[in-house]
């Protein structure tokens, strides 16, 4: 098809900023944080390092869910399918003799490859039907995996390839693997959202019909994001399988993963990169401080989700950003000199 | 060779016929108005040209390309820009980002070139001073202008304007029509559905009247408005087949 244009829109040289403030402090802060978190298992108590490992697993999952729902408008309640498939792909590679840590990227690739045909089924559906179908996909995957004896069937099995490591070493390496996957996922998401794709995703979220008429290939963009999110959740499943090395379908494919992704994205702020991270921090603080309260813990967490959904639908970070017009990880475009008057 | 050509285009939703073998041509740089009562099939016609719906029969060609089964995104990239009757801004994006997206995806521009195309469209439509505002905060007039700016950012050869003057004051309509006239003067073809007839008359040099999915009049605007067919579809009187004969 010819892309030749007979008519040119008059152009004006314009300066565009990609940040509301100088990025230097963010970059310094990020580098310090990266260094601290990399050495954390050697300077914090083992129990806290385990908590951080679980925290990063949730950050990975929630960042991917936010990309799906907060940016591309696909509300999935079946992302645990790829968590489980990632875990079992790692188990399979480990059974075949590959080091489980080395298997992490391959598990992510397996999930990405499996996600492609799944999109051809799911993308025939819209809205609530899409969401329910993602859950069906997840339960189907759980049932199929449960029938494969070599993977432990329905009762599960231990991850091979970790036995020559001491429990302390396993915990340290699990932490580092999880932290690096989280770093790659969050950084990759940031780079993706700052690129042209970021605007494409935001436009699909805001108005799919208008996005098409502006030249956006909505289906291709959605498919790419679904595949990326599957790979990310697959990597989360892989590090989950290494950090909690007894692999069981009911744990890896647990609906609880989807609920936690949804909860932390919602309270933190959908459609922001910072939101899932802040939501995960709040979730872990609540979990650590209310764990002894039994059922009350769940009631308080549920009540918090309801309150935020009703009074701060853009989440805590969304509300903060709207009020103070600031972003830690800016992805927008600001025309300079900008005027915001009427 | 016409820029846009529809040959026997038909579409029905159940028993309702929205297009009945419509044949229609529009040349490079032409400005054509479309009038007709509610339910005449005007917006459905636009939806078939822009690709939001597919015709049941007939062909649509544009700039020597067959558009009939082409996706809306490909049509936009080929040079078909459109606005919607009810504005559809990307509400959580800024005004500038709305046009930037169209410049990058519709007009295949990158980097600074895309910034210049997007901002040029805002300047053209009087929105440059609002570039950094969230599109969701705009008034109706500014939303309509943003629809136009976004379509313009795709570097269109043809603009489909769907009741862009609807709901605006006389002054606002005048401002908008002067922008559309200037776009037409630059060689962009315009196909414009509008109930504000005086806005149409100041801009177009041909008028088409649709009723029940059928073209009942097509020609010089004043002649079309004075024709019995158009009087019938708006005011009633003779039966349509009598008018057609």
Collect all residues of chain B within an 8 Å Cβ-Cβ radius of residue A1.
65, 74, 77-78
Question: Would A86 be classed as within a structural domain?
Answer: yes
Of B81, B89, B117, nearest to A11 by CB-CB distance is B117
Does any domain span residue A187?
Answer: yes
pLDDT of residue A180: 97
pLDDT at A11: 55
Average pLDDT score over residue span B121-125: 94
Among residues B133, B154, B175, which one ends one of the domains?
Answer: B154
- List, in sequence order, every residue forming a beta bridge with B218; answer none if it has no partner: B208
Residue of A11, A12, A203 with shortest CB distance to B90: A203
Cβ-defined contact of A203 to B50 (cutoff 8 Å): no
> What is the number of H-type helices and E-type strands within chain A?
14, 4
Confidence band of A199 (pLDDT split at 50, 70, 90): very high
Mean pLDDT for B112-129 is 94
Q: What mean pLDDT comes out for the span B71-99?
A: 95
Q: Are residues B116 and B165 in the same domain?
A: no
Does B92 contact A205 at a Cβ distance shorter than 8 Å?
A: yes
Instruction: Please tell me whether the peptide bond between A255 and the residue prior to it is cis, using omega within 30 degrees of 0.
Output: no
Which pLDDT score, from 0 to 100, does residue A164 have?
A: 84
Residues B34 and B111 in one domain: no
Q: What is the ipTM of this complex?
A: 0.90
pLDDT in tens, B203-216: 999 999 999 899 99
Q: Do B90 and A206 touch (CB under 8 A)?
A: yes
Q: pLDDT category, A46, cuts 50, 70, 90? A: confident
Q: Average pLDDT, stretch A72-82? A: 93
Contact A215 B188 (CB under 8 A): no
Same domain assignment for residues B217 and B109: no
Do A331 and A19 meet the contact criterion of CB atoms below 8 Å apart?
Answer: no
Instruction: Locate the chain A residue with the closest alpha carbon to B101.
Output: A199
**CA nearest to B220, candidates B235, B200, B236, B238:** B200
- B155 CB neighbour count, 10 Å cutoff: 26
| Chain-centre distance for alpha carbon A310 | 24
- Chain segment B183-193, per-residue pLDDT in tens: 999 999 999 99
Please tell me whether residues B214 and B226 are part of one structural domain.
yes
Nearest-CA neighbor of B94 among B119, B124, B76, B63?
B119
Given B107, B123, B154, the domain boundary residue is B154
> Residue range A153-168: average pLDDT?
88
Contact between A335 and B65 using a beta-carbon 8 Å cutoff: no
Q: List C-alpha distances in Å: B84 to A216, A287, B127, B150, B192.
A: 16, 48, 18, 11, 11
Co-location of B41 and B140 in the same domain: no
With contacts defined as CB-CB under 8 Å, which chain B residues touch A8? 155
Q: CB A213 to CB B151 under 8 A?
A: yes
Point out the least confidently predicted range of A121-125, A259-263, B172-176, B235-239: B235-239
Taking residues A56-60, what's their average pLDDT?
96
Summarised one tens digit per residue, pLDDT across range A12-45 is 678 898 887 777 888 898 999 999 999 998 898 8
Q: For residues A281-302, b (16+ Cβ closer than 10 Å) or e, as one string?
A: ebbbeebeeeeeeeeeeeeebe
Residue of A nearest to B157 (CA): A7
| Angle CA B90–B95–B99, to nearest 5 | 80
Q: Which whole number is the average pLDDT over B105-127? A: 94
Question: What count of Cα atoms within 13 Å lies in the side-chain half-sphere of residue A168?
Answer: 5
For chain A, the domain total comes to 1
The pLDDT value given to residue A26:
83
Cα gap A178→A166, rounded to integer Å: 18
User: Would you call A270 an interface residue with chain B, using a CB distance cutoff of 8 Å?
Assistant: no
The reply to whether residue A340 touches residue B130, judged by beta carbons under 8 angstroms, is yes
Q: pLDDT > 70: what percent of chain B?
A: 96
Contacts of B151 in chain A (CB under 8 A): 213
- First-to-last alpha carbon distance for chain A, in angstroms, is 41
Indicate the range of A92-96, A228-232, B22-26, B36-40 predicted with least confidence.
B36-40
CA atoms within 13 A on the CB side of B88: 18
* Predicted pLDDT at A10: 54
Q: What is the pTM of this model?
A: 0.87
Interchain CB contact of A314 with B (< 8 Å): no
Q: Are residues B49 and B99 in the same domain?
A: no
What mean pLDDT is predicted for residues B159-164?
94
Stretch B98-106: mean pLDDT: 97
Angle between helix B111-124 and helix B140-153 axes, rounded to 10 deg? 140
Q: Does A332 touch chain B (CB under 8 A)?
A: yes
Average pLDDT of chain B? 91
Nearest chain A residue to B3 by CA: give it. A6
Q: Which three-class secondary structure state does DSSP give residue B208?
A: strand
How many residues can be counted in chain B? 245
Q: Which of residues 173-202 of A touch B (CB under 8 A)?
A: 196, 199-200, 202
DSSP secondary structure letter of residue B143:
H
DSSP state of A11: -
pLDDT tens digits, residue range B9-67?
999 999 889 999 999 999 999 999 999 988 889 999 999 999 999 999 999 999 989 99
Strands B80-82 and B65-66: unpaired
Which of A5, A11, A209 is facing B116, going by the closest CB pair?
Answer: A11
- Looking at the structure of chain B, the number of domains it has is 2
Identify whether residues B164 and B69 lie together within a single domain.
Answer: yes
User: Which of B93, B128, B131 faces A203 most closely, judged by CB atoms?
Assistant: B93
CA distances from A310 to A56, A305, A307, A313, B165 (A): 28, 9, 5, 6, 37
CB-CB: which of A10, A205, A209 is closest to B124? A10
Which residues of A are less than 8 Å from B116 in CB distance? 11-14
What pLDDT, in 10s, does the model give residues A103-131?
999 999 999 999 999 999 999 998 899 99
Question: Which contiguous run of DSSP H or E holds residue A16?
Answer: strand A15-17
B161 and B175 both lie in a single domain: yes
Q: Within an 8 Å CB–CB cutoff, is residue A166 touching chain B?
A: no
Residue of B244 and A95 predicted with greater confidence: A95
Cα separation, A282 vs B223, whole angstroms: 70
> Is position A131 within any domain?
yes
Nearest to B21 by CA among B56, B68, B52: B56
The Cα A138–Cα A78 span in angstroms is: 5
Average pLDDT over residues A219-242: 96
Same domain for B61 and B29: yes
Q: What's residue A1's pLDDT?
A: 42
The residue range of the domain holding A60 is 48-255
- Best mutation target, B67, B71, B102, to test chain A (most A CBs within 10 A): B102
B160 & B238 share domain: yes
Residues B102 and B203 both lie in one domain: no
Of B51, B124, B128, the CB nearest to A9: B124
Same domain membership, residue B207 and residue B135: no
Q: What tokens does B75 get?
A: 């049509």
- Nearest partner of B116 among A118, A218, A335, judged by Cα: A335
CB atoms within 10 A of CB A273: 27
The residues, any chain, with a CB within 8 Å of residue A209's CB and separated by 6 or more, are B52, B84, B88
Cβ–Cβ below 8 Å for A213 and B82: yes
Q: Are B30 and B205 in contact (CB under 8 A)?
A: yes
Domain range for B72: 1-79+156-245
Instruction: Tell me which residue of A79, A87, A67, A149 sits closest to A118, measured CA to CA.
Output: A79
- End residue of a domain, out of B154, B177, B197: B154
Whose structure tokens read 């509008």? B194
Amino acid A23: pLDDT: 76
Q: What are A173's two structure tokens? A: 């390496």
Query: Which residues, 6 or more positions from B157, have their beta carbon under 8 angstroms from its beta carbon?
Result: A5, A6, A7, B3, B28, B62, B63, B79, B80, B188, B189
Q: Using a CB–CB cutoff of 8 Å, tell me whether A102 touches chain B.
A: no
Q: What is the reported pLDDT for A341?
A: 41
Place of tokens 């901002």: B119
Smallest Cα–Cα separation from A205: which of A74, A42, A23?
Answer: A74
How many inter-chain contacts (A to B, CB under 8 Å) are there? 151
Residues of A in contact with B123 (CB under 8 A): 10, 12
Q: What is the pLDDT of residue B242?
A: 52
Identify which of B114, B107, B110, B100 has the alpha carbon closest to the alpha carbon of residue B79: B107
The mean per-residue pLDDT over the stretch A203-212 comes to 93
């Amino acid at each position: 098809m010819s892309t030749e244009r007979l008519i040119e829109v008059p152009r004006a040289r314009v300066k565009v900023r990609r940040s509301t403030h100088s990025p230097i402090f963010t970059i310094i802060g990020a580098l310090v944080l990266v260094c601290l978190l990399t050495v954390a298992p050697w300077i914090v108590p083992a129990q806290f390092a385990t908590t951080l490992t679980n925290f990063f697993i949730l950050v990975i999952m929630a960042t991917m869910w936010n990309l799906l729902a907060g940016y591309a408008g696909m509300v999935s309640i079946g992302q645990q399918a790829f968590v489980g498939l990632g875990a079992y792909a790692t188990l399979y590679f480990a059974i075949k003799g590959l080091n489980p840590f080395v298997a992490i990227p391959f598990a992510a690739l397996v999930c990405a490859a499996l996600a492609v045909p799944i999109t051809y089924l799911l993308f025939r559906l819209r809205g609530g039907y899409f969401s329910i179908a993602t859950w069906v996909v997840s339960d189907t995957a759980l049932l199929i995996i449960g029938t494969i004896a070599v993977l432990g069937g329905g009762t599960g099995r231990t991850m091979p390839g970790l036995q020559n490591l001491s429990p302390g070493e396993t915990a340290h390496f699990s932490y580092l693997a999880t932290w690096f996957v989280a770093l790659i996922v969050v950084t990759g998401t940031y780079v993706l959202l700052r690129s042209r794709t970021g605007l494409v995703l935001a436009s699909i979220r805001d108005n799919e019909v208008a996005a098409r008429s502006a030249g956006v290939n909505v289906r291709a963009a959605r498919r790419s994001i679904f595949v990326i999110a599957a790979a990310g959740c697959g990597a989360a499943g892989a590090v989950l399988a290494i950090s909690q090395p007894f692999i069981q379908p009911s744990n890896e494919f647990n609906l609880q993963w989807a609920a936690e992704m949804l909860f932390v994205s919602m309270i933190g702020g959908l459609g922001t990169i910072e939101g899932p991270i802040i939501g995960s921090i709040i979730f872990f603080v609540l979990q650590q401080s209310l764990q002894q309260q039994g059922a009350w813990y769940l009631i308080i967490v549920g009540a918090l989700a309801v309150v935020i959904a009703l009074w701060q639908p853009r989440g805590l970070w969304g509300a903060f950003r709207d009020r103070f017009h600031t972003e830690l990880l800016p992805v927008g475009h600001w025309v300079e000199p900008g005027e915001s008057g009427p | 060779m016409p820029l846009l050509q529809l040959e026997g285009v038909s579409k029905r939703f159940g028993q309702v016929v929205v297009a009945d073998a419509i044949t229609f041509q529009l040349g490079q740089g032409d400005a054509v108005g479309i009038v007709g009562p509610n339910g005449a099939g005007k917006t459905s016609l636009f939806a078939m040209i822009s690709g939001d719906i597919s015709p049941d029969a007939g062909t649509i060609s544009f700039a020597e390309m067959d558009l009939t089964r082409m996706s809306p995104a490909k049509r936009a990239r080929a040079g078909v820009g459109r606005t919607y009757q009810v504005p559809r801004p990307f509400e959580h994006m800024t005004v500038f980002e709305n046009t930037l997206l169209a410049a990058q995806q519709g007009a295949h521009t990158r980097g600074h070139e895309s910034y210049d195309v997007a901002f040029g469209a805002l300047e053209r439509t009087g929105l440059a001073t609002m570039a950094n505002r969230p599109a969701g905060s705009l008034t109706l007039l500014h939303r309509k202008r943003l629809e136009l700016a976004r379509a313009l950012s795709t570097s269109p050869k043809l603009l489909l304007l769907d009741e862009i003057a609807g709901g605006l004051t006389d002054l606002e309509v005048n401002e908008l029509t002067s922008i559309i006239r200037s776009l037409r003067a630059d060689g962009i073809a315009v196909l414009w559905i509008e109930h504000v007839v005086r806005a149409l008359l100041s801009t177009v040099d041909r008028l088409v009247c649709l009723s029940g999915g059928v073209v009942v009049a097509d020609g010089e605007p004043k002649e079309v408005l004075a024709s019995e067919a158009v009087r019938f579809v708006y005011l009633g009187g003779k039966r349509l087949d009598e008018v057609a004969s």
